[in-house]
Structure 1
Amino acid sequence: MIVEFESELWVWAARRDDSWTFVSLPVDESEEIRELVGGLARGFGSVRVRAAIGGSNWRTSIFPDAGRRCYVLPVKKAIRTAERLNPGDIALIQVETVDV
């Protein structure tokens, strides 16, 4: 499954430094991913994905966030630096589930 969306980068409240920066997947698409993976989620409910922002591509996992009712994607510092993104910026993101 491939999901393309725009989302604001935000910092995880439990770790206020910018090393824990995420984007939230849309709620509807998150529900579709939950249905797709069924009981196949990994540790912490994670799902393996390929992610892309601008010219940067990487493999990572998305994680369920009960408070937001969606999956969240961590955006590591190397990607944020390469794409000149900071918390609060809006990015166009593509996420593709793998190994499902």
Structure 2
Amino acid sequence: MRIRFTASIYEWAARRNWFFVDVPPEPSADIADRPRMPRGFDSVRVTATVGTTTWNTSIFPGGGTYALPLKAAVLKAEGIGRGDEITVDLDVHDG
């Protein structure tokens, strides 16, 4: 499953310098509906691309959507930060 979306970067209120974007509600519901092996925290393995940077990570459910963590290396490589609106390409893995 491939998803493309645009979202604003936010800093997690519980931890400074942890940045995320939220997968929109409709694709989040599609991801949640797909059968897969259980993983810690109900996370889902993905490959994410922002600009020219691609990395493997997991998305995490909460509040009806999934949150995609943005590594510091991604923020630096792409010159982005809190409040910036970015386009994300997300490849959702089945296993």
Normalised by the size of structure 1, how large is the TM-score? 0.90
| SS of structure 1 residue aligned to 2:26 | helix
Which blocks of at least 5 consecutive residues in structure 2 are unaligned? none
The answer on whether the counterparts of 2:36 and 2:94 sit within 8 Å (CA) in structure 1 is: no
Match of 1:46 among 43, 61, 65: 43
Q: Cα deviation per residue 1:12-55 (whole Å; 9 max; x = unaligned)?
A: 1111x22x10000010000000011x352410010000000000
| SS of structure 2 residue aligned to 1:80 | helix
The answer on whether the counterparts of 2:3 and 2:27 sit within 8 Å (CA) in structure 1 is: yes
- Structure-2 residue corresponding to 1:61: 58
Give the C-alpha shift of residue 98 in structure 1.
Answer: 1.5
Provide the C-alpha distance between the structure 1 equivalents of 2:36 and 2:53, rounded to a whole number of angstroms: 30
Match of 2:83 among 79, 88, 91: 88
Q: Which amino acid aligns with 1:59?
A: N
Provide the C-alpha distance between the structure 1 equivalents of 2:87 and 2:70, rounded to a whole number of angstroms: 12
Q: How many residues matched?
A: 95
Q: Which amino acid aligns with 2:79?
A: R
**Where does structure 1 differ by over 6 angstroms across 4 or more consecutive aligned residues?**
none
Match of 1:76 among 71, 75, 82: 71
Q: Cα deviation per residue 1:65-95 (whole Å; 9 max; x = unaligned)?
A: 12xx100000000000000001000000011
Q: Which moved more, 1:90-99 or 1:4-13?
A: 90-99
